[in-house]
C-alpha cells in the first residue's frame, strides 16, 4: 500500500518538474521573440558620467520595420532610478527640455534621437557609467511589445560639437 501511494506521487513530482522545464523553454522562446524584428535600434550610445553627475542621456535611431505605426510608450534601465524621453529645444537662446510621453514611429520610417533633439534622460543614476561598458535599456512599445538593447557608454565630453549640448540640470 505504501509503495502504491508513493509511486503516483513520484510521477506527479516528475510531471511537475517536466512542466517547469517546459515552461522555462517557452519563456526562453518568448524572450528571443521579443527581438523578432519590429523595431531596429542603431547608433545607440549613452554618455559617460563622472561620479558626481547623477544624470545622463542616451541617443539612438529607432527604425520601424513594420507596415504600421508603432508608438514608443516608455523606457527603463537598471542603471537609473528613472528614464524619460525628453525633447530639447532652444527658446530665446535658452536650452530647455521637456518630457515626451509617447512617440510615434512611422510605418517603415525612423526617428532619430540626437544631442540637439530627442534623448532618453537617465535620472538618478545608481553609479557612474564608464566608457566602454554596456548599459541595458528596455524599450516599451504599443501592443505590449518590449525590446531590450545594450547601449555602449561613450565619453563625449572631449568632443567640441557636443560640449554645448551637454545638460545636467533638471
Ligand atoms: Cu533631458
Rounded CA-CA distance 142/69 in Å is 9
Give the pTM: 0.72
Kindly give the distance from the C-alpha atom of residue 107 to the centroid of ligand 1, in angstroms, as a whole number.
26
The CATH code of the domain at 39-163 is: 2.60.40.1890
What is the average pLDDT score of the chain? 82
Rounded CA-CA distance 163/138 in Å is 27
pLDDT over 60 (residue 164): no
Read off the pLDDT band of 21 (50, 70, 90): low
Kindly give the distance from the C-alpha atom of residue 77 to the centroid of ligand 1, in angstroms, as a whole number.
15
The predicted structure's pLDDT at residue 17: 54
Read off the pLDDT band of 116 (50, 70, 90): confident
**Cell numbers 551637454 label which residue?**
166
Kindly give the distance from the C-alpha atom of residue 70 to the centroid of ligand 1, in angstroms, as a whole number.
23
The predicted structure's pLDDT at residue 90: 87
Kindly give the distance from the C-alpha atom of residue 55 to the centroid of ligand 1, in angstroms, as a whole number.
9
Cell of 150: 545594450
Kindly give the distance from the C-alpha atom of residue 91 to the centroid of ligand 1, in angstroms, as a whole number.
15
Kindly give the distance from the C-alpha atom of residue 169 to the centroid of ligand 1, in angstroms, as a whole number.
8
Q: What is the pLDDT of residues 57-66, one digit of tens each?
A: 999 999 999 9
Kindly give the distance from the C-alpha atom of residue 85 to the centroid of ligand 1, in angstroms, as a whole number.
7
Kindly give the distance from the C-alpha atom of residue 119 to the centroid of ligand 1, in angstroms, as a whole number.
6
Kindly give the distance from the C-alpha atom of residue 2 to the centroid of ligand 1, in angstroms, as a whole number.
68
pLDDT over 70 (residue 4): no
Kindly give the distance from the C-alpha atom of residue 56 to the centroid of ligand 1, in angstroms, as a whole number.
8
Indicate the pairing of strand 80-91 with strand 103-105. Answer: unpaired
Nearest to 147 by CA among 22, 31, 29: 31
Kindly give the distance from the C-alpha atom of residue 34 to the centroid of ligand 1, in angstroms, as a whole number.
27
The predicted structure's pLDDT at residue 160: 42
Q: What is the pLDDT of residues 24-41, one digit of tens each?
A: 544 444 444 455 689 999
The predicted structure's pLDDT at residue 22: 52
Q: What is the pLDDT of residues 79-106, one digit of tens each?
A: 999 999 999 988 888 989 999 999 999 9
Which phi and psi (to 5°) does residue 149 adopt?
-125, 165
Kindly give the distance from the C-alpha atom of residue 126 to the centroid of ligand 1, in angstroms, as a whole number.
17
Amino acid at each position: 500500500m505504501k509503495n502504491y501511494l508513493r509511486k503516483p506521487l513520484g510521477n506527479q513530482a516528475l510531471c511537475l518538474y517536466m512542466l517547469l522545464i517546459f515552461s522555462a523553454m517557452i519563456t526562453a522562446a518568448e524572450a528571443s521573440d521579443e527581438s523578432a524584428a519590429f523595431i531596429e535600434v542603431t547608433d545607440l550610445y549613452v554618455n559617460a558620467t563622472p561620479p558626481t553627475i547623477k544624470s545622463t542621456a542616451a541617443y539612438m535611431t529607432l527604425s520601424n520595420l513594420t507596415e504600421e505605426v508603432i508608438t514608443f510608450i516608455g523606457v527603463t534601465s537598471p542603471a537609473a532610478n528613472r528614464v524619460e524621453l525628453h525633447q530639447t529645444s532652444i527658446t530665446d537662446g535658452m536650452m530647455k527640455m521637456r518630457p515626451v510621453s509617447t512617440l510615434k514611429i512611422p510605418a517603415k520610417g525612423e526617428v532619430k534621437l540626437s544631442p540637439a533633439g530627442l534623448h532618453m534622460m537617465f535620472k538618478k543614476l545608481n553609479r557612474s557609467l564608464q566608457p566602454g561598458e554596456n548599459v541595458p535599456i528596455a524599450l516599451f512599445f504599443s501592443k505590449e511589445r518590449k525590446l531590450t538593447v545594450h547601449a555602449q557608454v561613450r565619453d563625449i565630453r572631449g568632443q567640441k560639437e557636443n560640449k554645448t549640448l551637454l545638460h545636467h540640470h533638471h
